[in-house]
């Protein structure tokens, strides 16, 4: 059987990039990024709550009268 000469296929084969994908490592990296984002959001929420409490203490307005954070 003769080898077929096709200029387009030859060019594609020269530039073809094959790599092994480590799906487990990609999943671990993705989960780490997602958890980091969640930690930052939780820290911001805690900071907001503490600021609200501090402002409530300073102005002596009960927290029940303040709008909710939800």
Q: What percent of the chain has pLDDT over 70?
A: 79
Strand, coil or helix: 68: coil
Contact 66, 52 (CB under 8 A): yes
d(CA 38, CA 36): 5
The dihedral formed by the CA atoms of 60, 58, 45 and 64, expressed in degrees to the nearest 10: 0
pLDDT tens for each residue of 24-54? 999 999 999 999 999 999 999 999 999 888 8
Contact 62, 53 (CB under 8 A): no
Report the pLDDT value the prediction gives residue 5, as an integer from 0 to 100.
72
pTM of the model: 0.53
Q: Quick one: which of 37, 17, 15, 33 has its CA closest to 25?
A: 33
């Amino acid at each position: 059987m003769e080898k077929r000469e096709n200029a387009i296929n030859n060019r594609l084969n020269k530039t073809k990039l094959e790599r092994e994908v480590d799906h487990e490592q990609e999943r671990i990296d993705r989960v780490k990024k997602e958890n980091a984002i969640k930690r930052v959001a939780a820290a911001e929420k805690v900071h907001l709550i503490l600021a609200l409490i501090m402002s409530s203490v300073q102005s002596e307005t009960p927290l029940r009268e303040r709008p909710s954070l939800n």
